[in-house]
Structure 1
Amino acid sequence: MRLTKTSLRQQLLLWLLLPQLVFCLAGAALFLSITLHYADNAIDKRLIKSANAVAKLIQHQPQIGPELSSKIIATIDSLDDLEIYSIHDSNQRLIAGRAEIALPQTHQPQNDPFFYYQTIDGQKYRVLLQKSAQQSDRTIQIAFNLHERDVYTRNIFLSTAIPLLLLIILTIFFVWWGIGLGLRPLAQLQSMMELRKPQDLSPLALQDAPRELNALSAALNHLLATTEASIDRQRRFIADAAHQLRTPLAGLKSQTELAMRENSPEGLRERLNMVHTSATRSIHLVNQLLTLARSEPGSQTSIPKVHMDLAKIIRDLTAELVPRALAARIDLGCDCFVQDAPLHGNSALLREMFINLVENAIKYIPRDGSVTVRLTEDEKNYIVDVEDNGPGIPDSDKDRVFERFYRREQTGNGCGLGMAIVREIAERHAGSVQLLDAEPHGLIVHVVLPKTELNT
């Protein structure tokens, strides 16, 4: 049975009280049935005793006159009108007693007692039908008026039902009170959430809460902590972005003001070149910020993942960056030891990650250096290594280069977001990135991406 649109209190009351009510009614019915059963047993014993006494009186009596009838009445103790009798011969003719006691049509008299119910003069009787043991041609019927039995049984039932009803009422009261007491921490939690300001993301503190509600409170606190961390991350991102954009925009404004006051064509061209450089740096910074924002976990639902071939992505982007490497006099190579590398991910983010790694290597190693992009695999992961033979990075800085806007060198047009983007994208694909030393010198950016099963 599924309950909808009902409160938790109503559901608990229904499932706690309804079975109790059903069991109480069933118990009362069973008690009444047992009481009637034992009362009928007592009546049956009395009827058998009366029938045996009548059989002895009419033994060897061919005729039953008024005197014998009086003795029979005295024997069955019918002064209180509880018992009446009738005696029939073998032809079912009444020879003594009350004619109102009818013989059953579907039963032939036997030596064994036979009991049945009959209504006589508007009163219900229990009737015994039995052949006389001494004179088998005579059938004796003794009927017992059940009015007193019914009154007795009703009194017993009422004397039991009234305390039982009071017990049910007390049970309902205590169950209602207990449910209210048990739901009080839930009401407290509801009140705390309703009175809390939207900016308040501090953990919830419940006093004397049950284990089940503590689990809910822990889940809510985890959600609040995650939300607070996400908001703090966005605030830091906005603050860092505003700080980083302020410098190139201020420089761009200054260069344009100087260009507007410049009179000579040569000076104007020089100022415009500086404006172009500042604008290019600003565009690069904005693009990096947008890529970083897309790669954060909070934006995961907005960028879909598709089936792709990681090996093809590595080969293609390496080929695309060869002209830039040649212009910088860098030897760029690609070693794919995996022919096909099926992966479920976001191709745009993965391309951005590997382009950042290769461009950083090209930018920061000396001329006539070499950069190698290597793709291998193990049982569970794809491994991409971007190795160069440059000066490398000291161990003290290997963790800091993943921080946003951190730059080891202040020269060039970098904005300090490349490695932060690489880490975010790798973690977005359940992977990891690590900086290792190359032999005899240089740096290896070690990226591990777990394999994913492709559903066909």
Structure 2
Amino acid sequence: MSQWRWGRQSLRRRLLTTVMVPLLLLLLMNSLITYIGALIYANHVHDKNLIDDTLTLVQLMATESPDGRVTSQAKFLLEYDPNGHNYFSVFSAKHGLVAGNPTLRPPDGLFKDSSETQLYDIQIEKHALRAASIQMTNPHDASDELEVNVAETLRDRHIEAQQILLLSIPAQTLLIFAAFMLVWLGVRTGLRQLDPLTTQLANREHDLAPIGDQDVPVEILPLTRTIDGLFARLRGMLALHERFIADAAHQLRTPLAGLSVHAERAQASADPATIADALNHIQRLIQRANRTSKQLLALTRAQTTEHEAGDSEPLNFAVVIPELVGLRVHEAIAANIDLGYEGPEGPLWIDGDRHRIQEMLDNLIDNGLRYAGEGALMTVMLSSQNDNIFLVVEDNGPGVPPAWIERLGERFFRVPGSAEEGSGLGLAIVQRIAEWHNAKVRYFAASQKGGLRVEIVFPAMHT
């Protein structure tokens, strides 16, 4: 159980890890800043002591060394350093080196702008040193100038900075640990705000109502809104299924009832003519039920408005539409209908699904073959204007009375008085497929003499 739990992703662990790593980096950065600050402080203190040592050496030479020499005791104190080695030098303008290390000299121009005690960095025998220098009149010879230099290694400064750092690290670590514990408690308490939402969802059985934004933390609103979107899609799918069942029951009730009646006729009669007539009716009803079931399935597919990756592709209507029309020419010839195509030679591109376009065009042609009548003329036309592509199917049949044109495209609607059998789903399928392609369907009278013109306006694809 423990392995399963640790093997899964944990929001709590991820949040704590996300916080812990920056806290550790903060500890390292704070330690570096502390060390730099301690080193600056140590440098400031040692620089002040270095100046004091230089002034002390000057005072010593003025009061206790009438010949300008430095006693051995004073030399020992100046050079003694338990962790390294210190240096000093005294130079006379007349006599050169008076005492100390001859290599300890300030850089040229150090006293150009000021005669006060000056600090500088120097390197002697591969040792980095910090030095202080002062120029003064020889107290025993007013015509002579003395240059007094005192230098020390940097070791003590770094040791003191390290000691300060080591003293501060435990306190900083404790502070970081306390901050981490507070964050852990905050994350634990904050995640408990998800418990009511989890309980609410767990108590649902078939309820797909939206969760809503009320009492939902702002940070998880994107998640709950995504869940609400999923619920909405599920409600749509369930409604689609329920509608399909209702449509199927509505459309198949009549042919199934007819099948039962004619089957009983065939069983009850011994007359071959009656039996043959009943079987003929049964065959026609089976064909009608078969066509209706196919159109119901097509309508269900067409009503799925969600686009998924790979559903659509660039289609050149100037190539696709003539090919699809050509597939139906033999049926038009059998029905004694002149089916033709008119369109430009140049490409007309849309973003669409070829199978849905074929389903839509087949239903438009079926509608014309069924209702235009023998000897009719049906034309499929393509054109473009501005950023739109127009697909038009027009016939010169009896057409649709103006009072009923607005209802074309409704499910199960059939123009009253039509002699041809139909399910009333063909134009509804066309309507749904057009909506899937963000296209608009318009119906017109083809001419004053009759006929129907179906015009579908597609948005052009910019290539």
TM-score normalised by the chain length of structure 1: 0.72
Specify which of 253, 271, 284 is matched with residue 264 of structure 1: 271
CA offsets, 1:56-92, max 9 Å, x none?
245433888xxx778x69x99x9xxxx99999999x9
The Cα of 1:426 is off from its aligned counterpart by 2.0
1:433 aligns with 2:424: no
In structure 1, the residue matched to 2:114 is none
The answer on whether the counterparts of 2:400 and 2:415 sit within 8 Å (CA) in structure 1 is no
**8 Å contact from structure 1 (residues 88, 139) kept in 2:** yes
Q: CA RMSD in A?
A: 4.8
Match of 1:49 in 2: 55
Moved more, 400-409 or 43-52: 400-409
Report the CA distance shift for 1:154/1:272 in structure 2 as closer, same or farther (over 3 A). closer
Distance verdict in 2 for CA 1:246–1:311, change over 3 Å: closer
How far off is 1:322 after superposition?
2.9
Q: Which moved more, 1:151-160 or 1:29-38?
A: 151-160
- The alpha carbon displacement at 1:210 in A equals 4.8
Q: Do the aligned residues in 1 keep the contact of 2:371 with 2:420 (CA within 8 Å)?
A: no
Per the alignment, do residues 305 and 253 of structure 1 end up closer, same or farther by CA in structure 2, a change over 3 Å counting? farther
Does structure 1 retain, via aligned residues, the 8 Å contact 2:88–2:149?
Answer: yes
1:374-420 Cα distance to aligned partner (Å, 9 max, x none): 3322233321223345252444x445442333334485431121111
- Matched residue type, 2:46: D
Residue of structure 2 in register with 1:243 after alignment: 250
Aligned to 1:99: none
Residue range with higher mean Cα deviation, 445-454 or 226-235: 445-454
Aligned to 2:455: 446
Could you report, residue by residue, the CA deviation over 1:117-143 in whole angstroms, capped at 9, with x for unpaired residues?
99xxxxxx9997999974999998879
* Match of residue 214, structure 1, among 208, 218, 221: 221
Is 1:12 the counterpart of 2:22? The answer is no
Task: Report what 2:322 is aligned to.
Answer: 312
Structure 1 residues 345-388: Cα deviation after superposition (integer angstroms, max 9, x where no partner): 44443333223223323433566665443332223332122334
2:115 matched to which residue of 1? Answer: none
Query: Alignment partner of 2:390: what SS?
Result: strand
- Change beyond 3 A, Cα 1:333–1:149: closer
The 5 Å alignment of 1:15-414 reads 16-61=22-67, 107-108=103-104, 134=138, 164=172, 167-180=175-188, 183=191, 185=193, 189=197, 192-193=200-201, 195=202, 197=204, 199-297=206-304, 307=315, 309-313=319-323, 315-317=325-327, 319-326=329-336, 332-334=338-340, 336-339=342-345, 341-343=347-349, 345-365=352-372, 370-387=377-394, 388-395=396-403, 397-409=404-416, 412-414=420-422
**Which residue does the alignment assign to 1:423?**
431
How far 1:35 sits from its partner (Å)? 1.6
For 1:348 and 1:317, how far apart are their aligned partners in 2?
A: 14
1:318-341 C-alpha deviation (Å, 9 max, x unpaired): 633432442xxxx64535132355
Unaligned runs of 5+ in 1: 96-101, 119-124
Asked if the contact 1:293/1:299 (under 8 Å) is kept, the reply is no
Counterparts of 1:147 and 1:341 in 2: how far apart (Å)? 83
Q: Quick one: distance in 2 between partners of 1:250 and 1:221?
A: 43
Question: CA separation of 1:304/1:207 partners in 2, compared to 1, >3 Å: closer, same or farther?
Answer: closer
For residues 382 and 34 of structure 1, do their structure 2 counterparts lie closer, same or farther at Cα, with a shift above 3 Å needed?
A: same
Decide whether aligned partners of structure 1 residues 236 and 404 sit closer, same or farther in structure 2, where only a CA change above 3 A counts.
same
Q: How much does 1:224 deviate? A: 1.7
Matched residue pairs, number?
Answer: 421
Give the Cα–Cα distance (whole angstroms) in 2 for the partners of residues 385 and 149 of structure 1.
Answer: 92
Task: Output one character per residue of 1:252-275: Cα deviation in whole Å (capped at 9) or x when no partner.
Answer: 233233223321221221111111
Residues 87 and 101, structure 2, Cα contact 8 Å, conserved in 1 = no
* C-alpha separation in 2, matches of 1:399 and 1:442: 15
Alignment CA distance shift 1:89-1:203 (3 Å): closer
Separation in 1 of the partners of 2:269 and 2:158?
123
Secondary structure, counterpart of 1:297 in structure 2:
coil
- Which segment drifts farther, 409-418 or 219-228? 409-418
Q: 1:28: how far off? A: 1.2
1:236 is aligned with what amino acid? R
Equivalent residue letter for 1:9: L
The alignment partner of 2:66 has SS state of coil
Identity %: 24
The secondary structure found in structure 2 opposite 1:250 is helix
Q: Which shows bigger deviation, 215-224 or 13-22?
A: 13-22
Q: 1:374·1:384 contact (CA, 8 Å) conserved in 2?
A: yes
Classify 1:321/1:341 alpha carbon distance in 2 versus 1 (closer, same or farther; 3 Å).
farther
- Change beyond 3 A, Cα 1:138–1:69: farther
Cα distance in 1, alignment partners of residues 305 and 402 from structure 2: 32
Q: Measure how far apart 1:146 and its partner are.
A: 11
- 1:389 touches 1:442 (CA, 8 Å); kept in 2? yes
The structure-2 alpha-carbon separation of the partners of 1:38 and 1:240, relative to structure 1 and needing over 3 Å to count, comes to same
